[in-house]
Amino acid sequence: MGRFEVFSDGQSIGWSDLEWGDPPMGVAFGLFVAGPGYPCIQGQVRALAQEDQASLKLTVQDAGARQIRAAGVCLYDYSDDAGADAMEVHVLGIEYPAYDELFPEHVQAYERQFSAGHPQQGVET
């Protein structure tokens, strides 16, 4: 996996490795590392923590500077209470096959949970 840059209305605000995911749901998420542009919207992110963040115009790009096509992007910032590690970005509804191409490790981890030491359904043991 590579580093993914997060933008608000076209301005870079930070990045994430999007180290976790839910392949069937097309969701990738991870620790958000704020960049120099983040303080400009930090108050809005906190105010919209449990609301629609569409007004922030959040997007995510992969290492090749291609925007990830997704249903939405959300930021969660609880850094006042828990420190810098308490910020996450969630990318929701990533289209197939783009998800598989961007996050093969997530797909492999998901598939392993069904094959590791478990008999396959319909196969006698």
Domain spans in the chain, listed from the N-terminal domain onward = 4-115
Q: pLDDT per residue over 70-105, tens digit each? A: 999 999 999 888 877 899 999 999 988 899 999 999
pLDDT above 60: residue 123: no
Average of per-residue pLDDT values in the chain: 89
Helices of type H across 3-117: 42-47, 79-82, 98-102, 104-115
In whole angstroms, give the CA distance from residue 57 to residue 55.
Answer: 5
Q: pLDDT per residue over 13-61, tens digit each? A: 999 999 999 999 999 999 999 999 999 999 999 999 889 999 999 999 9
In whole angstroms, give the CA distance from residue 95 to residue 84.
Answer: 30
In whole angstroms, give the CA distance from residue 18 to residue 70.
Answer: 14
| CA torsion, ordered 79, 16, 89, 85, to nearest 10 deg | -20
